[in-house]
Structure 1
Amino acid sequence: MTKREFVGHYFWLNRYSYLFAMVLILIVSWLQVEIPRHIQMAIDLLNESSPLAHTTLVGHVQWVIGFALLMTVLRILSRMYALNPGRITEAALKNDLFHRLNRLPTSFHQKFASGRLISIINNDLNGIRLFYGVGFLQLFNIVFALSLTPVWMYRISPVLTLYTAIPISIAFVIFFLGFRKMRVLHVQRLQRLQDLSEQLMNDLSGIDVIKAQNMGEWVQQKTQTINQRLLETTLKIAKIQTFVIPVLDYANHLMKVVILGFGGYMLLRSELSIGQITAFLSYSVLLALPLMHLGRIVTVFQMGMVSIDSVLSILNQDIPSRDTDSEAKPSPLSKGASLQVKNLNYRYAGATIDALSQVSFTLDFGKKLGILGEIGSGKSTLVNCLNHYLEVESGHIFWGDSDMATTPLSHWRKHIRTVTQDPYLFSDSISENVKFGASSRGFESDDSKIDKVLSLSQLGDDLSRFSQGKHTVVGEKGIMLSGGQKQRLSIARALLTPCDLLVFDNVLSAVDYETERQILSGMFERIQGQSVIVVSHRVSALEQMDEILVLKQGQIIARGTHTQLLATSDYYRQTWLLQQHETEVQSA
């Protein structure tokens, strides 16, 4: 989408509101140039004492009062219909952006920091709201005012109109040069805001590490440096504005001096009447208002255009072809199918070796698969390939007969549910965190279902110690909970809604061995008829699996049941013996 197409699209979205506002503003502009004409005729009748002149004078005054009242009503309506499109566009654009961000691949989010995206959604959308609201309102006002007012002035005196155009023309030249420089500065300012937002997001996310490592002074200095750059750019914009905008005001004052000087001279020569001079001064005021607003509208339009560039950097990102219009297409995936991985390889960008190499296995529906491996063995990479957090080439991962590389993610993620070792919790109650996303999958949850999954995840005893039980607010990212409580809460969330494949990626690393066994026992009772993949570095978490894969340096070095691997795999047996010893030490 080009910038012109963007402007046209959202302008067309509000076309009826803009059209009605334009009609109202045109009527208001005509009324406000008619009022001085009636004032002119009324003043010229003051020297006449005939009854007809008195009646006509009263009539002109009545017209002025009527026009003024009508103008007030129409101006209010025009502002409503001209400003509302800004809010409507902002809301529509937020929906478009969120929809796009949710469908963009992981590669995009790796390039764009969250803080920068938040700055675009907040600061840049605010600029676009003003562009479509105040910007177009003032544009219509200026266009109609500059179209009608000079015509009415010219009708009074062509010569005086031409003289008054001289200071305005000079001011326009200075104005143009100043705001051409401001466009570059507005781009820099929004970029500085995005840098500051990104830095603050990083600081807040790592606030615990910053405090623990006593890095506060270093972080503060870095933030101050970015903030200082933003301040310098903002001051440069302010300096230009304080010079350019008053130029228009000075031009307006000079225009009045010209009117009084040359107009007075023409009055002495009886070329103009007092009423005409008064009307001409009134028209100069009407001309001054749009000229004074011109500085604001140019600023708004510049910020709007710069903001549109930032927003287009998101909207113009390509969505994978398999996800285009996927919601409108029926899912090709069948329930109760088997998962097949064939010769899967994956290498991260910039890496020299594969994170996964020739990984192959089959998980029949309803079976339980365990994956064991040390840190860096490729366990999480495999999980991220399965749920398509990482892009995988076609021909490697299948659900039944469907190739996952060509299947829309929205369809695949209706069948798979992944629980990671670092779950994300919202600043809401425990029950609301459990229910998150359930309604969007067509699942109606009630208190009894929530209580059951909380009990299965071994959170029941913890809830009894909370003052508000399951209605306790967990704070941002679950800061009020321990690591183990967060993991168990994420398990409860996954167990609440049914799916075909559950993937647990080392989700029990923060709980003790006994709690781990209780959670797994209850979980396996709950998920009868579902396929399960449990990834762990603990052998005890995998003892009940139908098959276990042992990963080392991205390759499967052994596979089998717990009993078979104890007999055939030295690595598995040594890991099991070591962890058995740790359990005995903990028990003692």
Structure 2
Amino acid sequence: MTKKQLIAHFLRLNRTSYLLAIVFIFLVNWLQVEIPRYIQLAIDLIDDASTSGHEQLKTYVGIVVIMAVSMIIVRILSRIYALNPGRITEAALKNMLLKKLNRLPNSFHDKFASGKLISIVNNDLSGVRLLFGVGFLQFFNALLALSLTPLWMWRISPELTMYSVVPIAVAFVIFRIGFKRMKALHMEHMRRLQNLSAQLMSYLSGIDLIKSQQMSPWVKAEIETLNQQLLRCRMQITRIQVYFMPILDYANDLMKVLILGLGGYMLMQQQLTLGEITAFLTYSVLLAMPLMQLGRIATIYQRGMVGITSVQTILNADIPEQDVTPLPQLEVDSLKGQTFSVRNLSFSYPGEERLILDNISFDIPPGKKVGVLGSIGAGKTTLVNCLNHHLDVPASTVFLGDKDVTTIARSDLRRFVKTITQDPYLFSATVEENIRFGSRDADIASAQVDEVLELSQLAGDVSRFEEGDQTVVGEKGIMLSGGQKQRLSIARALLQPSDLIIMDNVLSAVDYETERKILEGLFSQLTTQSVLVVSHRVNALEYMDEIIVLHEGKVIAKGSHATLLKTCPYYYDTWQLQQNEAETEAC
């Protein structure tokens, strides 16, 4: 979507409001230029001592009062209909951005730090809001004022109007120089603000490490460097706003001097009346406001266009072809209960030659419990992210039934595969609400929530909370222990049925025995769902139907726990070592 298409879309979206706004803005400006005309007529009647003159004077004064009151009402309406589209556009764009970000693949998010995306949604969108709201209002105010006011001035004295325009024309030439420079500075300001936001997000994420390692002075220095760069850019913009943009104000003051000097001379020559001079000066005041607004309009325009450029970064990002069109419901239904298969999967990250996964093959039939054992760096998490298509896997390597997952929209695949990671994200909401976030169905009964709490072995902990499942867990679940957060994430994944549940070291925060008991109780209930448990603990995998041993990206053995103890030295050594560790912990 180009800039013109984006602007045209939101102009159409708010066309009714904009049309009414233009009508009311025109009426405001028409009343503004008509009121001085009746003031002129009233002043010229002051010397008329006749009864008819007095009556006419009262009529003109009454007309001025009525017009002034009418202008107040119409101005309020013009602001309502001109400013509302800015908020409507901002809300619509935020919804569009959130929807698009949710559909973009992991490769996009690897390129853009979360802080930059937050800066676009918060800071840059405010410029778009101003463009479609205040910018629209002030542009048409200035356009109509600069059209009608000079016309009414011309009616009084073409010669004086021409003299008045000269300083304005000179000022516009100087103004344009500053306007061009501001465009580049606003783009630079946007980039520096995004960089600062990205760095702050990064440092806040690692605040515990920064404190424990006494890295605060270094972090402060880094942030101060970015702050100073942003400040210098902001000061350059401010200098232009101070020295270049007010040039129109100075031109307006010079115009008033010309009007008073030349107008006074013409008054003495009886070429103009006192009422006409008064009206002409009033028009110059009316002309001052739009001239003053031109500087702000230029700033709003630049911010708005910079904001639109930022928004296009997200809106114009390519969604993978298979994610554009979801599968028909009949085809989705046909995939239920199918076997997940991995065939000769090899994977390396972009820019790296080393294979993280090397020729992996295995099946996960319906209802089967499969474990993956491997040390740190063996490729376990990469394998998980290939199965759920979080990573862009090669075609014809991962299948759901006979369907290649690279041809299935990720939104459709999420119906069949649920992934629970070792670092669960919890919202600052209640326990129940965090569980319900895992379901597309808003009508889930409380009994179902209680059931998944039991399955995840969290019901006992929740019952001891003062407010039970209505306890607020705090930001990122800060009120819960590491094990409680992981079990809550399991409960969330279990609420909505799926064909395959992947557990990637989900109970790493609990001890060996607790992990084994939780998984044993969980498997006794999940008889129809397939489960893939990834762990570096042998005890957690004892009850698996099949265990895949992963070492340096390769499958070195497959089989049950008993079989692998006899046939796989690596598996046996790992089990023996962990048994000794468990005994040491028990002592």
TM-score by length of 1: 0.97
Equivalences for 1:186-205 in 2 at 5 Å? 186-205=186-205
Which segments of 5 or more consecutive residues in structure 2 lack a partner in the other structure?
none
SS of corresponding position for 1:503: strand
Deviations 1:467-516, CA, capped at 9 Å, x for gaps: 33333322222223222222112112112221111000111222112211
| CA shift in 2, pair 1:328/1:178, >3 Å | farther
Residue number in structure 2 paired with 1:561: 560
What amino acid does structure 1 have at the position aligned with 2:161? Answer: T
Residue number in structure 2 paired with 1:374: 375
SS of corresponding position for 1:510: coil
**8 Å contact 1:327–1:410 — kept in the other structure?**
no
User: 1:446 offset after TM fit, Å?
Assistant: 3.5
Deviations 1:522-549, CA, capped at 9 Å, x for gaps: 2112222111111111111111111111
- Which range is displaced more, 518-527 or 72-81? 518-527
Residue number in structure 2 paired with 1:528: 527
1:263 and 2:250 matched = no
User: 1:133 offset after TM fit, Å?
Assistant: 0.3
1:500 and 2:496 matched = no
| CA shift in 2, pair 1:81/1:328, >3 Å | farther
What amino acid does structure 2 have at the position aligned with 1:100? Answer: K
Residue number in structure 1 paired with 2:71: 71
Residue number in structure 2 paired with 1:277: 277
User: 1:415 offset after TM fit, Å?
Assistant: 1.1
Equivalences for 1:227-376 in 2 at 5 Å? 227-326=227-326, 331-332=331-332, 334-376=335-377
**8 Å contact 2:438–2:492 — kept in the other structure?**
no
SS of corresponding position for 1:341: strand
**8 Å contact 1:502–1:532 — kept in the other structure?**
yes
Residue number in structure 1 paired with 2:402: 401
1:412 and 2:413 matched = yes
Residue number in structure 2 paired with 1:454: 453
1:168 and 2:165 matched = no
**8 Å contact 1:372–1:537 — kept in the other structure?**
yes
Residue number in structure 1 paired with 2:108: 108
Distance (Å, rounded) in 2 between the aligned partners of 1:551 and 1:92: 47
**8 Å contact 1:559–1:565 — kept in the other structure?**
yes
Distance (Å, rounded) in 2 between the aligned partners of 1:16 and 1:461: 58
- Count, aligned residues: 586
Distance (Å, rounded) in 2 between the aligned partners of 1:15 and 1:175: 31
1:386 and 2:387 matched = yes
SS of corresponding position for 1:511: coil
SS of corresponding position for 2:245: helix
Distance (Å, rounded) in 1 between the aligned partners of 2:372 and 2:485: 22
What amino acid does structure 2 have at the position aligned with 1:551? Answer: L
SS of corresponding position for 1:60: helix
User: 1:317 offset after TM fit, Å?
Assistant: 0.4
User: 1:455 offset after TM fit, Å?
Assistant: 2.9
User: 1:329 offset after TM fit, Å?
Assistant: 6.4
Distance (Å, rounded) in 2 between the aligned partners of 1:328 and 1:47: 86
Distance (Å, rounded) in 2 between the aligned partners of 1:480 and 1:233: 42
What amino acid does structure 2 have at the position aligned with 1:173? Answer: V
- Which range is displaced more, 194-203 or 568-577? 568-577
Distance (Å, rounded) in 2 between the aligned partners of 1:526 and 1:98: 36
| CA shift in 2, pair 1:437/1:495, >3 Å | closer
Residue number in structure 1 paired with 2:580: 581
Residue number in structure 2 paired with 1:434: 435
What amino acid does structure 2 have at the position aligned with 1:393? Answer: P
Percent pairwise identity? 58
- Which range is displaced more, 548-557 or 443-452? 443-452
Distance (Å, rounded) in 1 between the aligned partners of 2:328 and 2:276: 68
User: 1:331 offset after TM fit, Å?
Assistant: 4.8
Distance (Å, rounded) in 1 between the aligned partners of 2:526 and 2:195: 46
Residue number in structure 2 paired with 1:155: 155
Distance (Å, rounded) in 2 between the aligned partners of 1:4 and 1:364: 52
Superposed structure 1 runs of 4+ greater than 4 Å apart: 327-331
User: 1:280 offset after TM fit, Å?
Assistant: 0.5
1:117 and 2:114 matched = no
| CA shift in 2, pair 1:325/1:73, >3 Å | farther
What amino acid does structure 1 have at the position aligned with 2:279? Answer: A
SS of corresponding position for 2:335: coil
**8 Å contact 2:246–2:295 — kept in the other structure?**
no
Equivalences for 1:207-246 in 2 at 5 Å? 207-246=207-246
SS of corresponding position for 2:519: helix
> What is the CA RMSD across the aligned residues, in angstroms?
1.5
**8 Å contact 1:443–1:497 — kept in the other structure?**
no
Distance (Å, rounded) in 1 between the aligned partners of 2:345 and 2:40: 87
- Which range is displaced more, 129-138 or 477-486? 477-486
SS of corresponding position for 1:345: strand
User: 1:201 offset after TM fit, Å?
Assistant: 0.6
- Which range is displaced more, 112-121 or 525-534? 525-534
**8 Å contact 1:331–1:411 — kept in the other structure?**
no
What amino acid does structure 2 have at the position aligned with 1:533? Answer: L
Distance (Å, rounded) in 1 between the aligned partners of 2:89 and 2:139: 17
Distance (Å, rounded) in 1 between the aligned partners of 2:579 and 2:37: 100
User: 1:327 offset after TM fit, Å?
Assistant: 7.7
Distance (Å, rounded) in 1 between the aligned partners of 2:214 and 2:480: 24
Distance (Å, rounded) in 1 between the aligned partners of 2:554 and 2:10: 52
